[in-house]
């Protein structure tokens, strides 16, 4: 394959890991996120290795790719909500129920009414703040695109504004480094 194909594959890996993390938390597209993160995390290290025709970028790419996948999984949804969420105040908890599953622990799902619009609030993470008892007032962050479910403001990680860009810049820096390397000397 030509070098340009591997360069494109490397850039695709840079994009897929954080975007996959975002879609991993999406309401109806979780499998897209899993595929995106897997392809991004696996394609990137091999692509930078094949671009450079050296072995060390494989290890650097694995580390950078793993960091990008983790940043995507844990911080991309928070970054998305920091950029695109609308804050709704004065919302009232109108219903609460416990959902049980054989595969995971029981979860409390709350129905919240915000000026006539109702939202089902499922805990964003296992450490999510409790929405409140029925009749209590709460604040929600609602994704304007509808990609992510509404969450409590405390569920949004403040570190997301630097972790995700750092992961992307780290991968981009590695791509630039391997592109600037002279071709390896061929053994005779």
The per-residue b/e assignment along 13-23, b for 16 or more CB within 10 angstroms, e otherwise, is bbebbbbbbbb
Note the pLDDT tens digit of each residue in 107-166. Answer: 788 889 998 889 888 876 666 777 778 888 999 989 888 888 888 888 888 888 899 999
Question: Is the predicted pLDDT of residue 65 greater than 80, yes or no?
Answer: yes
- The reported pLDDT for the residue numbered 124 is 66
Question: Is the predicted pLDDT of residue 61 greater than 70, yes or no?
Answer: yes
Q: What is the pTM of this model?
A: 0.81
- The reported pLDDT for the residue numbered 163 is 93
**Could you tell me if 53 and 184 are in contact, meaning their C-beta atoms sit under 8 angstroms apart?**
yes
């Amino acid at each position: 394959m030509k070098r340009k194909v591997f360069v494109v594959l490397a850039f695709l890996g840079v994009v897929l890991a954080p975007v996959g993390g975002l879609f991993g938390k999406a309401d109806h597209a979780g499998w897209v996120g899993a595929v995106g993160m897997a392809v991004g995390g696996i394609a990137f290290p091999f692509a930078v290795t094949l671009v450079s025709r050296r072995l060390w970028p494989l290890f650097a790419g694995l580390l950078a790719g793993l960091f990008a996948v983790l940043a995507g999984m844990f911080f991309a949804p928070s970054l998305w909500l920091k950029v695109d969420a609308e804050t709704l105040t004065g919302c009232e908890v109108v219903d609460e129920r416990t959902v049980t599953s054989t595969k995971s622990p029981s979860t409390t799902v709350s129905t919240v009414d915000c000026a006539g619009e109702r939202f089902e609030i499922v805990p964003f993470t296992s450490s999510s703040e409790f929405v409140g008892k029925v009749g209590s007032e709460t604040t929600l962050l609602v994704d304007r695109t509808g990609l992510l479910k509404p969450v409590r403001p405390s569920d949004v990680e403040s570190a997301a504004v630097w972790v995700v860009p750092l992961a992307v810049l780290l991968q981009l820096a590695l791509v630039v480094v391997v592109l600037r390397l002279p071709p390896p000397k061929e053994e005779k």
